[in-house]
Structure 1
């Protein structure tokens, strides 16, 4: 008998976690699992695709829970609480969370619970992290179903949330060993934590670097630095621009471009920073693109300067297409990049070190070749998508089976 799973995604944008989820759903054993997705938002991306259209194309039904705007009373209450508890950040955060729970979390939990009951689901599988899936924990309080949490980024947990996780969750799937360690250090029971590393399709057809560069109009003699991702503060593209400013001042003769693939609220600030650093003529903002592998293949160096990550798929993709990688020393990224072996690592925010690595890889083709060969081999040996799918399937199956016999 197939097990019925409701997959809950409460996110607001189409990110790496969404792509990982889709790769799982394309390959999950339909003889064992009947998955229905439950989203708050019908994400869209640059080519007018929506998450609903993609799920429909692979035969996965989807339910949307419409989200209402924050009521005025909640907005005013939170402003008052910020004023009253300005002296205690943690208490202020806790009180604001209570307001959010009343107007947003509990109504969503009620809707999710109704869907679970009506559909007679065996499990609720949440695709974000505990702090953004509180409604899921509330929804199953009185339901005898398995609860599985996928944690795709280094989590932010307080004591109350850890208590809630330990009381109810059957398994937390961490996308990296670093995320797993963060969960346990925060107090989540170790026996509930499992690592299933993010992965990619190593058998897919890969773009040809020379053909892509010609199609995108990148001259052979131009060195291409690049980044891919949402233009948000956490991704720290401003650190990359500052490092590139240093690079230009040190090597004004260099012919290079920095190609920024993605969209987001930080784009205007980044454009202003490019002017301040006098590198605006070198910067190319492409907006969102639905063919990231093409751009990764066209880059000479891919840079990920984030403040936090889980296990970034984009680094795996860069390694697969044989592009050298520089990354910040944060959970997930550091797990993929062995310094001076499969890439180069700098401490988050260390602009001088990042700039030095840009210069090093620009100058040293032999080093770039050594790094990309070792990185590609590691991805192919350790991060095949089949391992990811089978790992998640095993956890889902065991959790549902255990809950059935409770």
Structure 2
């Protein structure tokens, strides 16, 4: 006799479409609908750069979604925060804790009550959260009130306080880390080891791949022009300013080089980055494309892909660059360093070391044999270790195990 599917409420409290959203969608496209009946709960019907909304994408793959409307911050909360910031100006930790308590009262607790009501009304077995503990406090409170299984998918290097760690250890049945580095950070912060599991991010290694020469011709990239590139949201964490500073150094050291920098993505940092390109004297060589939904084609057209982030989980864009045989330079941070073995599958530089990054740009520009060796090794690693099937089956196994365990407590 076939058992009925386990009812899962997937909670995403985010406000923007990032790599974690794409990883979540890849899972939802492939998850076994005979075993899992999933409904998504979002705060915002956010859109990516082509104005396609998350609701439309979920509807296209037959995943139901509900939205919890978010009320504006009440005046009392705003005034209380201003008072706290003034009185505790020289006590950063106290100030942060006080502001957090105010947010918990007007925003977190009402959201927790609404999520708990959804869990009860829908008869859900499990709450599965798609961010990190610091952005999912209301989910922890809702799960505690309803006694459903609670699974946290930690998609980026987490920021954890002692109180957050206590909350995770008290309520989470499992915390899924997207990389071994993220799991290590969780455990070092005090999260119980038995709650931590690694299911590495992954990509579809069987998808049709663009042909580099055809894409470059379509994009009008000259054969004798070296194309550096980056792809992602233009936000502070991605540290694209370090890339532009390094390119300024590269240009001054190698004025004879023919090159372009293609920045694919949109976000609040774009104007500042354009001003920085002007300051560095490289504005004529830097192209801002805005959001594009054909990222794989751009990756295939690049000679070198650069990711300078301050933090990552396990960046899918690096896996995709490796899959299409594009050389990768990345900052030596959690997640990125797990994919790049320096001088084996790519090049690493210490985060923020603009001089070192500039030198590595020059190395890849000058050494075609090195690029070929790195890309050959990287593509083989991706195909062997980071297929989407491993990722989906790993998450499914934990959803099944933790839900069953909770039902039999």
**TM-score in same-fold range (> 0.5):** yes
The corresponding residue for 1:71 is 74
Deviation at 1:85, TM superposition (A): 1.3
- For the pair 1:405 / 2:408, whether they are aligned, the reply is yes
Q: Which residue among 56, 61, 64 is the counterpart of 2:64?
A: 61
CA distance in structure 2 between the aligned counterparts of 1:296 and 1:47, rounded to whole angstroms: 19
The corresponding residue for 1:200 is 203
CA-based RMSD of the aligned residues comes to 0.7
CA distance in structure 2 between the aligned counterparts of 1:210 and 1:76, rounded to whole angstroms: 58
Greater than 6 Å deviation, 4+ residue runs: none
The corresponding residue for 1:135 is 138
CA distance in structure 1 between the aligned counterparts of 2:353 and 2:49, rounded to whole angstroms: 33
CA shift digits 1:360-384 (9 cap, x unpaired)? 0000000000000000000000000
CA shift digits 1:204-229 (9 cap, x unpaired)? 00111111111112111111000011
CA shift digits 1:219-269 (9 cap, x unpaired)? 111110000111111100000000000000011111111000011111111
Higher mean C-alpha deviation, range 333-342 or range 249-258: 249-258
Gap regions ≥5 residues in structure 2: none
In the TM superposition, 1:129-168 aligns within 5 A as: 129-168=132-171
SS at the partner of 2:144? Answer: coil
Deviation at 1:72, TM superposition (A): 2.1
- For the pair 1:384 / 2:387, whether they are aligned, the reply is yes
Deviation at 1:144, TM superposition (A): 2.1
Deviation at 1:342, TM superposition (A): 0.1
User: Does structure 1 conserve the Cα–Cα contact (< 8 Å) formed by 2:49 and 2:266?
Assistant: no
CA distance in structure 1 between the aligned counterparts of 2:239 and 2:214, rounded to whole angstroms: 30
- For the pair 1:292 / 2:298, whether they are aligned, the reply is no
Deviation at 1:46, TM superposition (A): 2.7
Deviation at 1:77, TM superposition (A): 1.2
User: Does structure 1 conserve the Cα–Cα contact (< 8 Å) formed by 2:179 and 2:200?
Assistant: yes
The corresponding residue for 2:350 is 347
The corresponding residue for 1:374 is 377
SS at the partner of 1:310? Answer: coil
TM-score of the aligned structures, taking structure 2 as reference length: 0.98
SS at the partner of 1:142? Answer: helix
SS at the partner of 2:191? Answer: coil
The corresponding residue for 2:213 is 210
In the TM superposition, 1:2-401 aligns within 5 A as: 2-401=5-404
Gap regions ≥5 residues in structure 1: none
CA distance in structure 1 between the aligned counterparts of 2:79 and 2:273, rounded to whole angstroms: 32
TM-score of the aligned structures, taking structure 1 as reference length: 0.99
CA distance in structure 1 between the aligned counterparts of 2:50 and 2:161, rounded to whole angstroms: 39
CA distance in structure 2 between the aligned counterparts of 1:47 and 1:96, rounded to whole angstroms: 35
CA distance in structure 1 between the aligned counterparts of 2:278 and 2:75, rounded to whole angstroms: 39
Deviation at 1:98, TM superposition (A): 0.7
CA distance in structure 2 between the aligned counterparts of 1:163 and 1:249, rounded to whole angstroms: 52
Aligned residues: 406
Deviation at 1:298, TM superposition (A): 0.6
